[in-house]
Amino acid sequence: MRTQILPKNRGKDRGKNRGGVDSNLILQSILRGKSALLCACLGGSMWSLAFAPFFILPAAYISFALPCLWVAFEPRETQKAAKIPLLVFAWAFCANITSLYWITYAVYLSFGQSLLGAGVAAIALLLFCCYLSLFPLGAFFAQRLLLRRTSSESATLRIGTFVCTFVLAESLRSVLLGGFPWNLAGYAWNISIMMLQVNALGGIALTSLLALCSYAIAALAAYYLLARGTRRGIRKDIRKNIHKAYIHKACIHKACIHKACLCAVLSLAIPASATAFGAWRLQSAPELDKSSPIVRIVQPNIQQDKKWREQDAIDNFRRAVQLSKTQRADSISLLLWPETSFPYRLKTEDEANGQPLVHPRIPQLIAIVPHWMVFGAVRESKRRDAKGYRNSLVMIDNFGRINGLYDKVRLVPFGESIPFSRYFLGNTIQTLTNFPSFESGGENSNLLKASPALTLSVQICYEAIFSESLPFSRLRKNHKRKDYSRDQADLLFNATNDGWFGRSSGPYQHLQIARVRAVERGIPFFRAANTGISAAFDAFGQEIARLPLGIEGWIDAPLAPKTKHLLLLDKVGNSLFWLLWASVSLTLILMRRKL
């Protein structure tokens, strides 16, 4: 059946479908002129609503449908084709800037909350979001390159190819230049504790692929609703003269309606299946044992502008100590403080000796709080005639002896290290934390042993956002170091300081991203944050206790057990992700040859 184009004077309701919606007007809005750019900006902004703290999952479907429709309806004329990459870039840029706006607060604070700091913060955010937007744009060009020699107009082929390239682009974003796997598509599924369990199968990589497939199939349903006619007819009309293309009521192809309904069902079946799997898995979650060791998490809520002032160091120290010893302190087995919560620098001897000097404040601390504890501190290290700094976690026993050290490996670019500065100006440039570039801990072990029955696998700040399930993770520096070991660790501990982000969505996003690590490894996850959000989760990601953002306090949480059996992710790694990705790719290849 061919699409019939009626004359301009043939009825006032031309271009409208049976529901009264003008599909031609919608197509003009998302494909042509300034309205298309506006739709790209609004659609990209909606992407951030799917993540913490909003978790409006339908926003992800609506937002991701736009680039999918651009791919499906992409014109072949050179002049019009040049506009589609601009729309994709604008969509990605708005998605990033609305998700990461809180970065400006950190830069603004580091410049003393001055007018200069506001300008630098705005420029830094714009440049960073432009860099991140290159990855979705690269996925679009990769899709176009793969289909350059085919004359097929199949929307399924085009959208499916775009999803495959988009997933790989997100994976590259997680490793290039240190990596920044923030707000990957799968983190939107943290909306439900049941959907969260999919991460036990293949990690956040598999969850992101499933989520993007669900969004793309929904976009394919929208394509069939907008292009109600034969596949070739409507696309040819749109390409020739979009403002004249419309479909008469009698020419609506019923097969398109059927395909749209089928796509809608398939799109909803993916999250529904994930929910069913999660409900089944949670049935094996054990109840908390009241006789388990009690772990206290301290949240001193020290504002960032007062954190490193020498006149406030004693008050900050006393505040954390006071929170540590209040109410039922005798029943605590382990005490956890946030990142850099110890307000004094720990000096070390020469690296040849390797043993840190005990700060005089540590014996005072143990005299007041006689527990095993882990706290964050800035550690000075000397190598011959040079002096460096390391962001460290220190474990001390109930006698005040330093029992273990961990130095942060993945440093925040510009926050803790200046990229490539050692090749030009050494460590003379100050970072945003007002320290010279920190030294990386290399491949040092992240396991701290508190007792024969309790071993911690520790992470500092944004190290918790990295998952070994992501493709290309072996390309990352220090990939040989095991971040998590289910056989050896009993608890995942993340010490962080989110005071840099103020009262924004940043701390909420950071918490939800880190929470996935508990499900991926089947180990309980505890988090101590300076200003919040501090929380404790069991091995299934279920919340045990929480301290809200901007609240001074502490929480006592029982140590939940690990999962009884090895997870599929532990056995096969990210093989399940690659299997699904290869299956989708093979299907698209066969479809291309057939068409």
Q: ∠ CA(222), CA(225), CA(228), 5° rounding?
A: 140
In this prediction the pTM is: 0.87
Query: Would you say 410 and 466 are in contact if contact means Cβ atoms under 8 Å apart?
Result: yes
Q: How far apart are CA 533 and CA 538, in angstroms?
A: 16
Q: Which pLDDT score, from 0 to 100, does residue 485 have?
A: 54
In a domain, 577, yes or no: no
In a domain, 13, yes or no: no
Sign of the CA dihedral running 257, 258, 259, 262: positive
Query: Would you say 507 and 549 are in contact if contact means Cβ atoms under 8 Å apart?
Result: yes
In a domain, 504, yes or no: yes
How many domains is the chain built from? 2
Q: State whether 259 and 385 are in the same domain.
A: no
In a domain, 5, yes or no: no
Q: Cα-flanking dihedrals φ and ψ of residue 167, to 5°?
A: -65, -45
Q: Which of 444, 464, 456, 449 is nearest to 517 (CA)?
A: 464
Q: State whether 354 and 503 are in the same domain.
A: yes
Q: State whether 299 and 268 are in the same domain.
A: no
In a domain, 401, yes or no: yes
Q: State whether 352 and 436 are in the same domain.
A: yes
In a domain, 193, yes or no: yes
Q: Which pLDDT score, from 0 to 100, does residue 438 have?
A: 73
In CATH, what number is assigned to the domain containing residue 398?
3.60.110.10
Q: ∠ CA(100), CA(111), CA(512), 5° rounding?
A: 25
Q: How far apart are CA 537 and CA 541, in angstroms?
A: 5
Select from 252, 284, 316 the last residue of a domain: 284
Please report how the helices 83-99 and 33-47 are oriented relative to each other, as an axis angle in degrees rounded to 10.
30
Q: State whether 312 and 260 are in the same domain.
A: no
Select from 256, 284, 312 the last residue of a domain: 284
Q: Which pLDDT score, from 0 to 100, does residue 331 have?
A: 80
Per-residue pLDDT tens listing for the chain (595 residues)? 333 333 344 444 444 444 444 556 666 667 767 788 999 999 999 999 999 999 999 999 999 999 999 998 875 544 555 688 999 999 999 999 999 999 999 888 878 788 888 999 999 999 999 999 999 999 999 998 888 877 666 888 999 999 999 999 999 999 888 889 999 999 999 999 999 999 999 899 999 999 999 999 999 999 888 875 434 444 444 444 333 334 444 344 566 788 889 999 999 999 999 999 999 999 989 888 878 889 999 999 998 878 877 788 888 888 888 888 877 767 888 999 999 888 888 875 544 455 555 666 777 676 666 678 899 998 887 655 556 788 899 998 877 778 888 999 888 877 777 665 555 555 555 666 666 677 777 767 788 988 777 899 999 998 999 988 777 665 555 544 455 455 678 899 999 999 888 889 999 999 999 999 999 989 999 999 999 799 999 999 999 999 999 999 999 999 999 887 767 777 777 788 888 888 888 888 887 766 5
- Look up the domain containing 301 and give its range: 294-561
Q: State whether 176 and 321 are in the same domain.
A: no
Query: Would you say 111 and 136 are in contact if contact means Cβ atoms under 8 Å apart?
Result: no
Q: State whether 278 and 304 are in the same domain.
A: no
Task: Give the DSSP per-residue string, 417-431.
Answer: B-TTGGGTTTT-SB-
Q: State whether 528 and 467 are in the same domain.
A: yes
Q: How far apart are CA 189 and CA 204, in angstroms?
A: 10
Q: State whether 302 and 269 are in the same domain.
A: no
Q: State whether 362 and 464 are in the same domain.
A: yes
Q: State whether 337 and 445 are in the same domain.
A: yes
Query: Would you say 316 and 300 are in contact if contact means Cβ atoms under 8 Å apart?
Result: yes
In a domain, 164, yes or no: yes
Q: How far apart are CA 343 and CA 316, in angstroms?
A: 7
- Tell me if residue 485 falls in helix, strand or coil: coil
Is residue 142 exposed (0-12), middle (13-18) or buried (19+ Cβ within 10 Å)? Answer: middle
What is the amino acid identity at position 148?
A: R
Secondary structure element (H or E) that encloses residue 336, with its range: strand 332-336
Q: State whether 335 and 218 are in the same domain.
A: no
In a domain, 16, yes or no: no
